[in-house]
């Protein structure tokens, strides 16, 4: 051990030298009084497992888990040499681009956690660390609030979430939490990075009142993340990050292709096993009411479902309802701002197809490419660079598996294309 880095309500974190890795690591040791509590201990271990398995460059990595001779469990994790966001905020608000970049990185990490089925529950500036990688600073989200949640559930006098950041529903007994509680906390930190004050301290006034010159879109994005009614909040961390990113791009058009990578890189990095029905870990399978078509999407996309079919007239085929579904993060929200998948079947979709795929005005059409999945073949047309609030669109026609062909529209963030990954999970039941 080289020295003590800090302590929280549950644990003390030490700086140590790893002889094998020849690098510095942080070792978090559960406090003695909690180490005797089986539930808290189990959650501490669970936290280590999650942070070992889930892989994002913006999440603290746990390398090892063990037990000291006196029985206290510990986690060995990446050492963050750049202090915490709390330290930075002690000096007042951050430069706007740095605040937005940091918010996007936090959202990315949290989105990856959500996709693996884990809520953070205790996002706050002391849990956001900075480290230096190859001379560049990187944001790292640490410390899941798992221990807190169990302590709270067991009636201990520990607040489950930190005032100023936690969502209103977190202080309600038994209020089932979902990803939107974390969205609230990211919103609160973004507010503070931009204005120097928590929304609680500032009584929720628009950030631009405290930081003149902030664009209206940033005000709107941040206030929506903080809405007391979670139904009106951004439905996912990535939806919030996209809204901030779009505001940022509008301010600084040159940064469009550089800078922040959004959360969607998550897929490639998820651990765990693919389910027998082809559903990747952290994804959710949905189907239409008749069970004819089913598909899996990342959990954060699967907030709303319309499962009563669709009308193939939408793509220029004979009208009439046939099996189909639409699943998305925010189907009722402003068009084009959140991920969505529409899957419609039709016996009119054949090869060569007479369907008329939609044109996405303002987007750049990419060359069509041929795809083939589980006996179905067809083509994908992708539209990118849509500008405004629109992400990318993939238009897909597939046929050849039986009497039904399939049309899909996949709306997603334009920089990471999950079209094939989603298509690979498509299942059709032929009559």
Ligand X SMILES: Nc1ncnc2c1ncn2[C@@H]1O[C@H](COP(=O)(O)OP(=O)(O)OP(=O)(O)O)[C@@H](O)[C@H]1O
156 Cβ contact partners less than 8 Å away, ≥ 6 residues apart? none
Contact window for ligand X (CB under 6 A) among 6-14, 234-242, 285-293, 416-424 = 6-14
129 binds ligand X (CB under 6 A): yes
Contact window for ligand X (CB under 6 A) among 73-81, 185-193, 219-227, 239-247 = 73-81
Q: Residue 87 Cβ, how far from ligand X at the closest point, in Å? A: 8
Write b or e for each residue in 320-352: b if 16 or more Cβ atoms lie within 10 A of its Cβ, otherwise e.
eebbbbbbbbbbebeeebbbbbbbbbbebbeee
Is 124 annotated as ligand-binding? no
Of the candidates 221, 239, 225, 231, the one whose C-alpha atom is nearest the C-alpha of residue 328 is 239
Closest to ligand X by CB, 5 vs 404, is: 5
Handedness of CA 414, 419, 421, 427 (dihedral sign): positive
Q: Residue 185 Cβ, how far from ligand X at the closest point, in Å? A: 12
**Rounded Cα distance, 47 and 41, in Å:** 10
- The torsion region of residue 120 among left (phi > 0), alpha (psi -120 to 50) and beta comes to alpha
Contact flags string 248-287 toward ligand X, x per CB under 6 A: ----------------------------------------
7 binds ligand X (CB under 6 A): yes
Q: Residue 203 Cβ, how far from ligand X at the closest point, in Å? A: 25
Q: Which of 18, 45, 65, 126 binds ligand X (CB under 6 A)?
A: 126
Active site residue 39: no
Q: Which of 29, 50, 59, 60 binds ligand X (CB under 6 A)?
A: 60
Q: Residue 408 Cβ, how far from ligand X at the closest point, in Å? A: 42
Which pairs with CB-CB distance under 8 Å and at least 24 residues apart come from 206-212? Answer: 211/93, 211/96
Q: Which of 11, 167, 363, 423 binds ligand X (CB under 6 A)?
A: 11
Q: Which of 35, 59, 76, 80 binds ligand X (CB under 6 A)?
A: 80
Assess contact for 331 and 299: CB atoms under 8 A. Answer: no
Q: Please, where are the H alpha helices in 172-236?
A: 179-195, 207-210, 216-225
Site residue total, ligand X (CB under 6 A): 22
Closest to ligand X by CB, 26 vs 225, is: 26
**Rounded Cα distance, 404 and 234, in Å:** 36
**Rounded Cα distance, 5 and 110, in Å:** 24
143 binds ligand X (CB under 6 A): yes
Q: Which of 34, 44, 79, 130 binds ligand X (CB under 6 A)?
A: 79
Q: Residue 193 Cβ, how far from ligand X at the closest point, in Å? A: 17
Choosing from 55, 70, 87, 122, the catalytic residue is 122
**Rounded Cα distance, 36 and 22, in Å:** 33
10 binds ligand X (CB under 6 A): yes
6 binds ligand X (CB under 6 A): yes
Strand residues in 8-57 grouped as ranges (E): 11-18, 23-30
134 Cβ contact partners less than 8 Å away, ≥ 6 residues apart? none
142 binds ligand X (CB under 6 A): yes
> Which residue's entry shows tokens 């890189």?
265
21 binds ligand X (CB under 6 A): no
122 binds ligand X (CB under 6 A): yes
Assess contact for 346 and 404: CB atoms under 8 A. Answer: yes
179 binds ligand X (CB under 6 A): no
Q: With H, G, I as helix, E, B as strand and everything else as coil, classify residue 340.
A: strand
Binding site members? 28
Please identify every residue annotated as catalytic.
Answer: 122
Residues that bind ligand X (CB under 6 A): 5-11, 13, 26, 28, 60, 77-80, 84, 122, 126-127, 129, 142-143
Binding site members for ATP? 28
């Amino acid at each position: 051990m080289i020295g003590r880095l800090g302590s929280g309500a549950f644990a003390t974190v030490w700086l140590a030298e790893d002889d094998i890795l020849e690098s510095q690591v942080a070792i978090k040791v559960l406090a003695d009084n909690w180490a005797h509590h089986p539930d808290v201990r189990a959650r501490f271990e669970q936290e280590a497992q999650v942070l070992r398995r889930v892989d994002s460059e913006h999440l603290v990595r746990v390398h090892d888990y063990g037990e000291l001779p006196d029985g206290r469990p510990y986690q060995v994790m990446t050492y963050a040499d750049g202090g915490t966001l709390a330290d930075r905020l002690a000096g007042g608000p951050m430069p706007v681009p740095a605040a937005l970049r940091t918010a996007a990185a936090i959202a990315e990490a949290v989105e990856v956690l959500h996709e693996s089925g884990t809520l953070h529950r205790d996002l706050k500036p002391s849990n956001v660390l900075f480290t230096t990688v190859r001379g560049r600073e990187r944001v790292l989200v640490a410390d899941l609030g798992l221990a807190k949640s169990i302590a709270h559930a067991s009636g201990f006098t520990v607040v489950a979430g930190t005032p100023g950041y936690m969502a209103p529903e977190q202080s309600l007994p038994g209020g089932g939490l979902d990803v939107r509680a974390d969205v609230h906390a990211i919103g609160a930190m973004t507010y503070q990075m931009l204005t120097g004050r928590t929304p609680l301290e500032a009584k929720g006034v628009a950030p631009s009142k405290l930081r003149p010159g902030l664009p209206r879109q940033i005000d709107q994005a941040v206030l929506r993340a903080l809405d007391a009614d979670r139904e009106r909040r951004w439905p996912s961390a990535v939806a919030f990050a996209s809204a901030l990113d779009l505001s940022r791009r509008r301010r600084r058009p040159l940064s469009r292709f550089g800078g922040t990578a959004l959360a969607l890189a998550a897929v490639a990095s998820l651990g765990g096993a693919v389910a027998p029905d082809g559903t990747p870990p952290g994804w959710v399978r949905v189907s239409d009411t008749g069970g004819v078509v089913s598909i899996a999407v990342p959990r954060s996309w699967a907030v709303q479902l319309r499962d009563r079919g669709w009308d193939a007239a939408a793509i220029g085929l004979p009208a009439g309802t046939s099996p189909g579904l639409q699943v998305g993060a925010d189907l009722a929200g402003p068009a084009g701002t959140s991920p969505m998948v529409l899957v419609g079947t039709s016996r009119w979709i054949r090869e060569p197809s007479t369907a008329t795929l939609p044109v996405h005005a303002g987007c750049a059409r990419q060359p069509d490419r041929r795809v083939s999945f589980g006996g179905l073949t067809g083509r994908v047309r992708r539209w990118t660079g849509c500008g405004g609030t629109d992400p990318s669109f993939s238009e897909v026609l597939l046929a050849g598996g039986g009497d039904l062909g399939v049309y899909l529209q996949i709306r997603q963030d334009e920089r990471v294309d999950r079209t094939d990954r989603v298509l690979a999970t498509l299942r059709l039941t032929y009559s």
